[in-house]
């Protein structure tokens, strides 16, 4: 039950946790460590980085501040040091959110007609209603009419090769998640990687003219993973959007003593990224 096991700080840290992320980056984006552009047009790296940032946001947002008194709260310093002080990580978080959002809107017809059978009729009706509200949200449609144009990436001379390469790498990432020593971390990690893989599956299933290469079919666990991932990413984006400025202010004195990369205006980042299509972000 995910509600009984929320994504939060678990104490899983140190060399073991770092080795997992290092392996994910080094095995699937070999040039990451040197800071060079990934050969997969940076798509996969941006997705991994965005997911990594989102996970870090949730850990910092629900952190065990005092083990003795069991006090939980926001670890703003951790949030700043892991995500907010790096503008590229923030951009990749938004990129991943819009990427997954595009997949959900692309699969709207399928998701609206899908069976949500849990054995509880009332809960099934509620799930269907909530899904329709999400898919037909006018504010969302107005803000992001076309958040991502996947036709630019999956077609052309290297398109088929790019698809196969990314699919292979996602299988590798999922396998690496099996090595996570923390059971709850492994649960959330594999769930969200499956969600990203499902988003790719949806976007791979259509061509530039929005004609399906093959009928879209999703398994129940893929739908669950996709919706949960969209929720996790949207919560991360919301937290960064709301807490970015006050955290920047709180850390201001420390930043002045130890200069970090320029953060800029979070309001400007939000307005710019929501207004842009992701194709422009990839080329940045």
All structural domains of the chain with their residue ranges: 15-282
Res. 253 pLDDT band, cuts 50 70 90? low
Strand partners, 72: 64
Residue 283 labeled ligand binder: no
Catalytic, 29? Answer no
Confidence at residue 209, expressed as pLDDT on a 0 to 100 scale: 44
How many alpha carbons fall within 13 Å on the CB side of residue 245?
A: 9
Q: How many residues does the chain have?
A: 284
The two tokens of residue 252 are 């201001």
Is residue 171 part of an annotated ligand binding site? no
- Please confirm, yes or no, whether 179 is among the known catalytic residues: no
**What's the CA gap between 189 and 51, in Å, rounded?**
9
Query: Computed over its alpha carbons, how large is the radius of gyration of the chain?
Result: 19
220 is annotated as contributing to ligand binding: no
Distance CA 72, CA 67 (A): 9
For residue range 192-220, list pLDDT tens digits in order: 999 999 998 888 775 544 444 567 888 88
172's CB contacts (< 8 A; 6+ apart) are 27, 28
Q: Note the pLDDT of residue 229.
A: 94
198 is in an annotated binding site: no
Query: Treating both helix axes as pointing N-terminal to C-terminal, what angle do 220-250 and 266-275 enclose, rounded to 10 degrees?
Result: 150
0.75 exceeded by the pTM? yes
Count of C-beta atoms within a 10 Å radius of residue 237: 24
Give the start-end residues of each E strand in 22-108. 63-66, 71-73
* Distance separating alpha carbons of residues 47 and 95, to the nearest angstrom: 7
Neighbours of 194 (CB within 10 A): 21
24-28, 116-120, 144-148, 185-189: the lowest-pLDDT one:
144-148
- The answer on pLDDT for 75 being more than 90 is no
Query: Could you say which of 29, 144, 179, 182 is catalytic?
Result: 182
Ligand-binding annotation for 234, yes or no, is: no
Q: 82 a known binding residue?
A: yes
């Amino acid at each position: 039950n995910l509600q009984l096991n929320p994504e939060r700080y678990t104490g899983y840290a140190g060399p073991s946790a770092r080795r997992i992320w290092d392996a994910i980056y080094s095995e699937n984006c070999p040039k990451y460590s040197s800071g060079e552009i990934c050969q997969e047009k940076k798509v996969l790296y941006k997705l991994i980085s965005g997911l990594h940032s989102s996970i870090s946001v949730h850990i910092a947002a629900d952190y065990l501040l005092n083990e003795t008194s069991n006090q939980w709260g926001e670890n703003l310093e951790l949030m700043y040091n892991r995500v907010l002080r790096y503008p590229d990580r923030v951009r990749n978080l938004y990129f991943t959110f819009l990427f997954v959002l595009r997949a959900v809107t692309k699969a709207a017809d399928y998701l609206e007609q899908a069976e949500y059978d849990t054995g509880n009729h009332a809960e099934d009706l509620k799930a269907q209603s909530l899904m329709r509200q999400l898919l037909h949200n006018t504010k969302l449609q107005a803000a992001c009419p076309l958040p991502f144009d996947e036709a630019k990436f999956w077609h052309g001379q290297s398109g088929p090769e790019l698809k196969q390469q990314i699919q292979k790498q996602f299988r590798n990432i999922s396998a690496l998640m099996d090595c996570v020593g923390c059971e709850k971390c492994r649960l959330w990690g594999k769930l969200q990687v499956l969600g990203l893989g499902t988003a790719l599956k949806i976007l791979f299933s259509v061509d530039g003219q929005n004609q399906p290469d093959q009928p879209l079919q999703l398994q129940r666990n893929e739908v669950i993973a996709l919706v949960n991932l969209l929720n996790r990413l949207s919560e991360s984006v919301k937290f960064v959007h709301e807490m970015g400025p006050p955290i920047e202010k709180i850390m201001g004195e420390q930043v002045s003593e130890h200069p970090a990369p320029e953060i800029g205006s979070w309001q400007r980042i939000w307005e710019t990224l929501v207004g842009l299509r992701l194709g422009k972000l990839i080329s940045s």
